[in-house]
Amino acid sequence: MTRKVNIAVIGTGRMGSVHVANLVRQIPAANLTAICDIRLEVAQAVADNLGIQRVVKDYHELLADPSIEAVLIATSTDTHAMIIKDAAAAGKHIFCEKPLALDLKDIDDALAVVNQSKVKLQVGFNRRFDKSFQRVHQIVASGEIGRPCMVHVISRDPESPSIEYLRTSGGMFLDMTIHDFDMVRFQVGEVEELYVMGNVLITPEIREFGDLDTTIVSLKFANGAVGTIDNSRQAVYGYDQRLEVLCSDGAAIANNEVETTITKGDRGGFHSAKLPHFFMQRYASCYVEEVRQFVECVQEDKPTPVTGRDGLMAVVLGQAAWKSFREKRPVKISEFDRV
């Protein structure tokens, strides 16, 4: 029988609690041995609900435990790089929620320790594990419809997060669009240059800290392809997630998933099923699959499917997008000296 991987979760907030439940209920190759949160009462409530025996407040206790082989980091963004460095130095394999950090030097420092320690690192870009987006990737990568020429991503949230969340999120490009930056790299390849247009049309309060809620990012790729990312913080009809890659001999298109495929016609016209409300519903299976594959990589000593460099480049693109918006010009990714 394949051995189980002893893993601990650090951070049991919204995403951390989802990962904890998935590890316990849906990933049999994982043995969740402990959870950790500085808010001990939050972690204890999660543990009581799922029958987890060990709960700690200080993650260093877990790193000192030789029986723990891997950790999943789902703490606040500003702690990711620090915990990655500590975990890598302790010889633990690491799954970390996105982004690795908001500062590029912090990411560089963390990745240096990961590389030196020779541990595995996977970044939580869950959308790569969506079955439709994966199938688009397979079709494009196979060459069966020719070379990629254009990619278009539509990613619109159903409602804006709280102002408190947005204030510390890193802004539109490092919080929301960062998923789409990773997706276009996954589908088409490295971005060479980008240009941003955006405005505040939904939540006027965010003007005070310089954020945006409606944006278009134009992209030029190293292989000559071009693309766009279309983002909005408010699509009142539901969570809008679409992808198209146009190639020289065809196109690969992933449309929205809906609750059912039924269309009803009546005197008021035709009516279709609602879109999923938000990311927890739309990407529920992806959160399971990304961690399942991470555990498998630890078991079988394989490279992880989403690497530290992937995590770095998504933040580089986010920083480039902010630079483009603020300086009102196209920005080459080479300006960040991370290519």
Write out the residue range of the structural domain in which residue 13 sits. 5-119
> Is residue 68 domain-shared with residue 161, that is, in the same domain?
no
What tokens does 238 get?
A: 């539901």
Pick from 250, 272, 248: which is nearest to 261 by CA?
272
Residue 1: pLDDT band (50, 70, 90) is low
Range from 27-41, 92-106, 154-168, 174-188 carrying the lowest mean pLDDT: 154-168
Residue 338: pLDDT band (50, 70, 90) is low
Region 233-258: what's the mean pLDDT? 95
Q: Is the pLDDT of residue 271 over 60?
A: yes
> Is residue 155 domain-shared with residue 266, that is, in the same domain?
yes
Q: Is the pLDDT of residue 90 over 60?
A: yes
CATH number assigned to the domain comprising residue 249: 3.30.360.10
Helices 284-300, 14-26: axis angle to 10 degrees equals 60
pTM of the model: 0.93
Q: Prior bond to 99 cis, omega within 30?
A: yes
Classify residue 297: in a domain, yes or no.
no
> Is residue 64 domain-shared with residue 172, that is, in the same domain?
no
> Is residue 185 domain-shared with residue 328, that is, in the same domain?
yes
The strand pairing partners of 195, in sequence order, are: 218
Contact by Cβ (8 Å): 96, 292? no
Pick from 230, 194, 221: which is nearest to 325 by CA?
194
Q: What's the confidence (pLDDT) of residue 278?
A: 74
Q: Is the pLDDT of residue 339 over 60?
A: no
Q: What is the pLDDT of residues 151-183, one digit of tens each?
A: 999 999 999 988 988 988 889 999 999 999 999
Region 95-103: what's the mean pLDDT? 96
Q: What is the mean pLDDT of the chain?
A: 95
